[in-house]
């Protein structure tokens, strides 16, 4: 029996069994997205607090829709937070939400460790929708589901992650997940964004600043968003980035012929990705979005449905339903 997860805060501490379980459980919910009537009653009466302290449209809508299709209600908090802004603390904000008795909380925040911070202080399940530059676990899970659907298995694929790895929580979560299954990771980006310490995040990770080198033989390419504007750091001119690191059609040809291209979104066509590649047959971006819904429904179903983890197990249920 799988160890019961109370929260989903990060990929780093999950086992391959737990990850496979989540991906397997996402399959019925993938199929569900094709039903004409997309409304279940399985989480009816439950409320999910969607607390986003950082701007996001896609992930927020994905979680809200996932909850809603399961039959749950949502409480939606959207608050821009920056370290300079005074006002109600994160702790007080989530405690206020908790006082309205939601059955779980999905949180996105600009501080690394914010999801863990909240999980330590609340009694309800917490799902991390992205904390600072630390992790974005549901993104890695939906990427893995997409990859598994295309390649049948998660194993020692050659995975290239392109872009600003240092500041990417998507990269970190993907690195943690894929290395657990034996993937060989190549990190590629401008030198200041691929520090040496990234190689210590897992076995079989190498870095290069040369995009052609990174793409040769790649089975999977994950293209990251690029923020060329930074606080506290000099910006890299856009044209420099395009010159060195845009995934163009020509560069893509260096990879394996059936290489899968993924992007967490939103894409900036013409910056990190050539529009021809974005619209091309190898790019799975839209599938990723659908899979995001499936993964999030599976997670909400398991974490928020059912009892709190420490509740006592029932005496045998009065039912003839087997399994």
Q: Where on the chain is the footprint of another protein (CB under 8 A)?
A: 4, 25, 27-29, 31-32, 35-42, 83, 89-91, 109-114, 116-117, 131-135, 166, 169, 172, 195, 197-198, 200-201, 231-232, 298, 301-302, 305-307, 309, 311-323
Is the CB of 61 or the CB of 116 nearer to another protein? 116
DSSP letter assigned to residue 87: S
Within 8 A by CB and 6+ apart from 271, the residues are: 226, 238, 241, 242, 246
Other C-beta atoms lying within 10 Å of the C-beta of residue 97: 21
Is the CB of 259 or the CB of 295 nearer to another protein? 295
- Helix 169-180 and helix 16-32, axial crossing angle in degrees, nearest 10: 110
Is the CB of 128 or the CB of 246 nearer to another protein? 128
Is the CB of 166 or the CB of 267 nearer to another protein? 166
Closest CA to 118 of 96, 80, 90, 146: 90
Angle, alpha carbons 236-273-153 (nearest 5°)? 120
Q: Tokens for 250, please give them.
A: 């020509």
Smallest distance, another protein to C-beta of residue 217, A: 26
Smallest distance, another protein to C-beta of residue 52, A: 15
Smallest distance, another protein to C-beta of residue 1, A: 9
Is the CB of 199 or the CB of 287 nearer to another protein? 199
Is the CB of 112 or the CB of 282 nearer to another protein? 112
Other C-beta atoms lying within 10 Å of the C-beta of residue 91: 12
In the chain, which ranges are continuous DSSP H helix? Answer: 16-32, 58-69, 90-99, 114-121, 137-151, 169-180, 211-215, 238-245, 249-252, 275-278, 285-304
Smallest distance, another protein to C-beta of residue 39, A: 7
Beta partners for 78?
A: 52
Smallest distance, another protein to C-beta of residue 255, A: 27
Smallest distance, another protein to C-beta of residue 120, A: 9
Smallest distance, another protein to C-beta of residue 278, A: 27
Q: Tokens for 9, please give them.
A: 């805060």
Question: Cα torsion for 25, 28, 29, 32, to the nearest 10°?
Answer: -170
State the first-to-last Cα distance of the chain, in angstroms, to the nearest integer.
13
Is the CB of 103 or the CB of 272 nearer to another protein? 103
Q: Is 24 helix (H, G, I), strand (E, B) or coil?
A: helix
Smallest distance, another protein to C-beta of residue 294, A: 11
Is the CB of 273 or the CB of 298 nearer to another protein? 298
């Amino acid at each position: 029996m799988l160890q019961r997860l109370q929260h989903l805060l990060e990929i780093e501490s999950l086992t391959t069994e737990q990850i496979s379980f989540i991906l397997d459980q996402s399959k019925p919910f993938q199929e569900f997205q094709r039903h004409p009537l997309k409304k279940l009653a399985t989480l009816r009466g439950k409320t999910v607090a969607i607390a986003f302290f950082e701007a996001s449209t896609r992930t927020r809508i994905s979680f809200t829709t996932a909850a809603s299709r399961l039959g749950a209600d949502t409480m939606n908090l959207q608050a821009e937070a920056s370290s300079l802004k005074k006002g109600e603390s994160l702790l007080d904000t989530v405690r206020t939400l908790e006082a309205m008795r939601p059955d779980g909380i999905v949180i996105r925040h600009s501080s690394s460790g914010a999801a863990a911070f909240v999980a330590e202080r609340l009694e309800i399940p917490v799902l991390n929708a992205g904390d600072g530059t630390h992790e974005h676990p549901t993104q890695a899970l939906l990427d893995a589901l997409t990859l598994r659907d295309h390649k049948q298995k998660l194993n020692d694929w050659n995975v290239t992650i392109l872009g600003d790895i240092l500041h990417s929580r998507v990269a970190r979560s993907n690195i943690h997940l894929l290395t657990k299954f034996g993937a060989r990771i190549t990190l590629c980006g401008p030198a200041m964004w691929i520090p040496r310490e990234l190689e210590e995040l897992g076995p079989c990770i190498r870095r290069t600043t040369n995009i052609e080198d990174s793409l040769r033989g790649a089975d999977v390419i994950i293209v990251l968003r690029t923020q060329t504007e930074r606080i506290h750091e000099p910006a890299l001119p856009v044209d420099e980035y395009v010159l060195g690191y845009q995934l163009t059609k020509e560069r893509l040809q260096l990879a394996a012929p059936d290489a899968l291209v993924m992007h967490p979104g939103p894409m900036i066509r013409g910056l990190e990705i050539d529009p021809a590649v974005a619209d091309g047959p190898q790019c799975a971006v839209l599938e990723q979005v659908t899979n995001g819904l499936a993964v999030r429904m599976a997670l909400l179903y398991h974490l928020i449905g059912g009892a709190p983890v420490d509740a006592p197990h029932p005496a045998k249920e009065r039912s003839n339903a087997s399994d």
